[in-house]
Structure 1
Amino acid sequence: MNYLRYACLFSFLCLFTAQLCQAANTDHDDVVRLQLKWNHQFQFAGYYAALEKGFYADEGLHVELLEGGPSHNPLEMMLAGEVQYAVGDGGALLSRAQGKPVVVLASIFQQSPLVIYTRSGVSSLDALRGKRVMMQSKFLTVEVHAMLQRAGLAETDYMALPIGSIDDFIEGRSDAFTGYSSNEGFLLKQRGVAFETFRPHDYGIEFYGDSLLTTEAELASHPERAAAFRRASIKGWAYALEHQQEIIRLIKQKYDSQHKSIDHLTYEANAVSALMFTELVPVGFSNLERWQNVPLVFESLGHPLMKIDWDAFIYQPDTSVGSLVWQYRYWFAFASLFLLVLFLYLFNVQLRQGIHKRTAALEQITHEYKDILDHMQDAYYRADNNGTVIWVSLACERQLGYQREEVIGQPMSKLYYDEGGRTQFLDALKLSGGHLQHFEVCLKHKDGSRVWVEVNSQCFFDKEGKIAGVEGNIRNIAERKKAEQESQELTGQLQQAQKMESIGVLAGGIAHDFNNMLVGVMGNAELAMLDKAAQGEMREYLEKIFKSARRGADLVKQMLAYSGQGRLTMGHQNFNDLICEVSELLSTVIGKKIVLNQTLMDALPDVYGDRNQLTQLVMNLMTNASESMEANPGEIHLRTGLRHLAALDFSNMYMASDLQPGMYVFVEVKDSGCGMDEDTKLRIFDPFFTTKETGSGLGLSALLGIVRSHGGTLALHSELGKGSRFTVFLPLLESEKPKPELQTMEMNLQPDVYGGVLLVDDEEAVRDVARRLLEREGIRVFTANDGEHAVHMFREHAHEISMVLMDLTMPIMDGEEAFHAIRAMNPDASIVLSSGFLDNDAIDRLKHNGLAGFMKKPYTRNALLSEVTRLGVSNIDVT
């Protein structure tokens, strides 16, 4: 009987201690008043829930909620001592800066609900220049003023009107107005008015919305009451967000002063939930750095605030022993009851020991075994030979969301996400000899989502030694899978970058050699066509050879674009202008069966890029989209715009590892075609990879090279059978003046100078063709097979040479070294470099030292003779 006496005494002491804590920490007779910010609505749902569900009463508080309105100033009423608590906003910081003893007890809305509503079609705040905007004073809507400032609008750029009614906006008496994202949007939709919304958050203005406020006097006089009021209010908000429809019905029954409809309150509830970010931030959490950023915004608007005592302004929950005892009083009571049950259980075991000693021992072992399993983080299960669940531990609820009773008696196969998943598991168990370790399976949560787990399972046996079923333990490895996936993505990005770099080097080398060969092919074909005997069928064959060589040159150009070594003529470019210029060509590319929808952003900013390559980028995107239709009817959506990319946005984009967050111009092409599976998406940008029966497989790889050479990135979304969406992002044009291009260099040459040409190239075919083309026009040609030979020839024939045409990449001495050696002998020597690919760094260095020009291989007869004529070596008519 001693066990029973001690247990009862201990329980009584625990309960008595809890009651003493309650008596010490709360004031039953005092009415605690909370002044709301406005008329009753879902904006204050958490406080209604805390009152009506008894959370305030559980804390020993007698709370009265006071409705707000236009004639109420919650902050001033609280400071005057009329109420102990109030619902306020960012204005609390202004009061604190003025020396008033305001304290933020809890930050309820993690984001300000204030927004600017404009008419539909307004794509940016810049469109408000000269427009009428209804808004409150700067101190009441400072976040809105800061947003306008960051959008580049000064106060003189728009006409500020006093806040009126929503009818002023609807009936055209204003062009925009400030309002709440939780309210006016519903009214506009209800009236059938199309609108746009601009949020301060999208411009980096991070202000808190509604906050629960109190005073330093309340904290000093009733610290436990303040802590209790905060706990109950936060609990009320958590309940309100989880039971929105219940609280909406409560508002309609008891707090319907504004007579809002169910739909209106539902709209408000969804907006309020979005402002609280409960999936990321605990209800009521106050971030010191975010609060400290607010004075910086005031300062940027020309209103610096006084120094603020942040420790006093932002409440920190009390962690004293008395507070903790009171906060966890029900746990103490529960613990006492638990100990009471335990003592009673031991007493019962002692009474039965003599008669049922073995049975009691087995029951105790069984109970302890189940208790241990139920408290394990891993879920334990048993299933019979038919695959029916016969027992699971309580961890099943944590892992899969099911109550134990919902699972027992059900087939195990229903818990697997993929059909046949149970069969695969049993096959693996059989192969392991009945002991399966660290096997990964994908199970289905009660809400239908995937849950990756690692199982360790084995067969269990009946009394006769026969297999009775399977048992084991359903460990959650979601975090590990996520980490593995992120690692795979990073590895994939690294491999992609390495692959692109190596293929780029290969492409550049191939382009150099192939262009040299094409010079020979095209040059010899042109020489043959100049022969009078090359008429009739012979001339037709030669023209086909020349055209094929030109197509080969275009193919090399795409390879160079992919490798980022194509020649770029950089300048201010606008995607909208480029699209308009090729609009007729786009219609031809996509065909008559496909509908093209264009959404081009008004006043789209420029980018810094090469006009030809950006045009090719658009054409490649459209060509790929049209080919994905496979000759079937469909739609293509072409869209341009401006978007801010954060660091997180770059994680699933191509070539974005070195990019910085900021504003990017984008062009997006979305089709309704066949789409791509995962394997195809992994290879879609590989050179020469194609899923089409015809095509070079260089269109998208060249596209990627163009994006890379312009310092941009690309996002791809595609699903098999559901089409694809390619979005290219290029940096917003910087303010610095672009560098002058090579072709704009002024030449100080006399147009009537005639003389010979020194032709330098390590490829015999190039030298031979170029020599014969020039000699055919009566021009004297000197040849050299490398840079060292060229310097020697120039030294011997300097008085006879008026122009040097020299390859950039050669053995022994390359073109850059030879350039400096020749210019050292004659600073006025006219030297033109030529190469199968462009070394931009080398050209930039040489053009400031008098480089006369650059010829891209493969060049045609006309291109060669035009360059010779331009430098005054000859007056040949090449038209």
Structure 2
Amino acid sequence: MTFRSGRRQLRLAANLAAATMLLSACGGMSEPTNETAVAAGKDCQSKTKVRVVLQWVAQAQFAGYYAAKEKGFYDKACLDVTIQEGGVNIVPQQVLSAGNAEFAVSHVTKTMVTREQGTDLVNIGQVSQRGAYLQVAWADSGIKSLADLKGKRVGSWGYGNELTLFAAMKGSGVDPKKDAKIIQQPFDMSLLLKREVDAAQAKTFNEYAQLLEAKNPKTGKLYQPSDFVAINLQDTGYQTLEDGIYARDGWLADKANQETAVKFLKATYQGWGYCRDDLAGCVDIVLKNGSALGKGHQTWMLNEVNKLIWPSKAGIGMMDKASWDQTIDIAVKAGVLKAKPSADAYRTDLTERADKELKAEGFDVTGDSFQPETVKITPGGQ
């Protein structure tokens, strides 16, 4: 594994220097160490129990939540947080709607579909600022654009993950119901590698790396990007917001729950800040929490996920209205949503409070100086 370790060390040193200056000026407002965070948690008279349900199993896509727990940020906020993994049969927005979690991590489009069905889900923190959808084909397939999917076998995960793809296909003149054969795709790239589909759904941070981690049986060497055509849906005009934090509007009606939400957001954002500034350390936390994928793959994933979050020009978790409007417009035009959700489908006040407190403590909420690492692909992601 190769990293731009010098750049990372400089960034960490700069953050440490800034925290030290703030400590001198303000009497101890720098980001707590793991030990001090845990100690602060022990001072809580009681801890509020909350549950957050993820979209999938433990992996670097959700590293910030695991880091917030491991580094003691939730403890410091007097929260007892249970992180619930998602899965094929676990739909986070449905778990949240049923009252079986206080928070859920989900995409805007599929959560708004659930909201349109009569739930009161509301976005309170848009962690991911950019999308990561790809549709990947073999370089020799003749597929170079979404329009070329007409008459092809198109792999899709389903479970709400197909909504943006279908919208993009329709926008390119390809009706998924009539013009292509949609094939249920497992959450890996096996169908594409076996050429059982002509194009497969992927994310920049996960399945695309799985392709590059696989060996070409003809050469015995790893596949290269030149072996594939990766159509980036964001680049074709279908930039849709993905991982955000949701709660129920009815639950938030209680002011005490609003305070809990602010604490949860603040601690979670600290977790993502840690993962931004210490890639290797954060990967170790993910692996400790039972990831089925190897260190090499998780390092690639976290590096790519960081690119989706940082920089956050208005502050981590802040919703960009233009990006929201674009995401909703795409869904409505494609018939995924019948109508635009009401203005209260997202709120920024809770994240604004969390970010304000973090800034006062010397935490970098925008990550303007963030630079991704250079990660080397490893065989099988090990």
Indicate whether the TM-score tops 0.5: yes
**Which residue is equivalent to 2:93?**
75
Matched ranges for 1:539-618 at <5 A: none
**Which residue is equivalent to 1:187?**
210
Distance in 2 between residues matched to 1:53 and 1:224, nearest whole Å: 21
Report deviation, 1:179. Answer: 2.0
SS in 2 for 1:228: helix
1:108 aligns to 2:100 (yes or no) = no
Report deviation, 1:213. Answer: 1.1
SS in 2 for 1:46: helix
**Which residue is equivalent to 1:32?**
50
Report deviation, 1:251. Answer: 1.8
Contact kept, 8 Å, 1:120 with 1:195, in 2: the verdict is: yes
Contact kept, 8 Å, 1:106 with 1:284, in 2: the verdict is: yes
Match of 1:229 among 264, 272, 288: 264
Contact kept, 8 Å, 1:138 with 1:145, in 2: the verdict is: no
More displaced 10-residue stretch of structure 1: 203-212 or 138-147: 138-147
Distance in 2 between residues matched to 1:246 and 1:50, nearest whole Å: 13
Which residue type is aligned with residue 162 of structure 1? Q
Match of 1:43 among 42, 54, 61: 61
Distance in 2 between residues matched to 1:161 and 1:302, nearest whole Å: 21
Report deviation, 1:169. Answer: 1.3
Match of 2:279 among 227, 241, 244: 244
**Which residue is equivalent to 2:196?**
173
Which residue type is aligned with residue 129 of structure 1? K
SS in 1 for 2:114: helix
Distance in 2 between residues matched to 1:116 and 1:292, nearest whole Å: 23
Which residue type is aligned with residue 229 of structure 1? F
1:154 aligns to 2:187 (yes or no) = no
Contact kept, 8 Å, 1:133 with 1:161, in 2: the verdict is: yes
SS in 2 for 1:299: helix
Distance in 2 between residues matched to 1:328 and 1:271, nearest whole Å: 24
SS in 2 for 1:202: coil
Identify unmatched segments of 5+ residues in structure 1: 1-10, 12-21, 332-400, 402-879
Q: Cα distance 1:319–1:293, how it changes in 2: closer, same or farther (>3 A)?
A: closer
Which residue type is aligned with residue 314 of structure 1? R
Distance in 2 between residues matched to 1:280 and 1:230, nearest whole Å: 17
**Which residue is equivalent to 2:152?**
131
Structure 1 length normalisation: TM-score? 0.33
Q: Cα distance 1:131–1:43, how it changes in 2: closer, same or farther (>3 A)?
A: same
1:267 aligns to 2:288 (yes or no) = no
**Larger relative contact order (Cα-Cα within 8 Å, sequence gap ≥ 6):** 2
Matched ranges for 1:336-735 at <5 A: none
Percent of pairs with identical residues: 24
Report deviation, 1:84. Answer: 0.7
**Which residue is equivalent to 1:217?**
250
**Which residue is equivalent to 2:319?**
286
Which residue type is aligned with residue 180 of structure 2? Y
Distance in 2 between residues matched to 1:210 and 1:279, nearest whole Å: 14
**Which residue is equivalent to 1:200?**
233
Contact kept, 8 Å, 1:218 with 1:226, in 2: the verdict is: no
Distance in 1 between residues matched to 2:45 and 2:98, nearest whole Å: 21
Distance in 2 between residues matched to 1:230 and 1:49, nearest whole Å: 13
Match of 1:313 among 329, 346, 352: 346
Q: Cα distance 1:215–1:169, how it changes in 2: closer, same or farther (>3 A)?
A: same
**Which residue is equivalent to 1:850?**
none
Q: CA RMSD in A?
A: 3.0
Distance in 2 between residues matched to 1:118 and 1:301, nearest whole Å: 23
Distance in 1 between residues matched to 2:325 and 2:360, nearest whole Å: 37
Q: Alpha-carbon deviations, 1:598-628, whole Å to 9, x = none?
A: xxxxxxxxxxxxxxxxxxxxxxxxxxxxxxx
Match of 1:142 among 157, 163, 180: 163
Q: Alpha-carbon deviations, 1:766-811, whole Å to 9, x = none?
A: xxxxxxxxxxxxxxxxxxxxxxxxxxxxxxxxxxxxxxxxxxxxxx
SS in 2 for 1:203: coil
Match of 2:185 among 159, 163, 170: 163
Which residue type is aligned with residue 102 of structure 1? L
Which residue type is aligned with residue 147 of structure 1? A
Contact kept, 8 Å, 1:126 with 1:151, in 2: the verdict is: yes
Which residue type is aligned with residue 197 of structure 1? A
Which residue type is aligned with residue 256 of structure 1? G
Distance in 1 between residues matched to 2:67 and 2:213, nearest whole Å: 28
Identify unmatched segments of 5+ residues in structure 2: 1-26, 28-39, 216-222, 362-368, 370-382
Q: Cα distance 1:330–1:152, how it changes in 2: closer, same or farther (>3 A)?
A: closer
Contact kept, 8 Å, 1:33 with 1:64, in 2: the verdict is: yes
Contact kept, 8 Å, 2:152 with 2:180, in 1: the verdict is: yes
Report deviation, 1:330. Answer: 8.5
SS in 1 for 2:174: coil
Q: Alpha-carbon deviations, 1:176-227, whole Å to 9, x = none?
A: 1112221111211121342221121111112111111111133222111111
**Which residue is equivalent to 1:619?**
none
Q: Cα distance 1:279–1:93, how it changes in 2: closer, same or farther (>3 A)?
A: closer
Report how many aligned residue pairs link the two structures.
Answer: 305
Q: Cα distance 1:278–1:84, how it changes in 2: closer, same or farther (>3 A)?
A: same
Matched ranges for 1:5-16 at <5 A: none
SS in 2 for 1:153: coil
Report deviation, 1:295. Answer: 3.1
Contact kept, 8 Å, 1:104 with 1:313, in 2: the verdict is: yes
Distance in 1 between residues matched to 2:58 and 2:351, nearest whole Å: 31
Report deviation, 1:35. Answer: 1.1
Report deviation, 1:264. Answer: 0.6
Which residue type is aligned with residue 111 of structure 2? A
Q: Cα distance 1:308–1:131, how it changes in 2: closer, same or farther (>3 A)?
A: closer
Distance in 1 between residues matched to 2:46 and 2:120, nearest whole Å: 26
Report deviation, 1:304. Answer: 4.4
Report deviation, 1:319. Answer: 7.5
Contact kept, 8 Å, 1:47 with 1:237, in 2: the verdict is: yes
1:255 aligns to 2:289 (yes or no) = yes
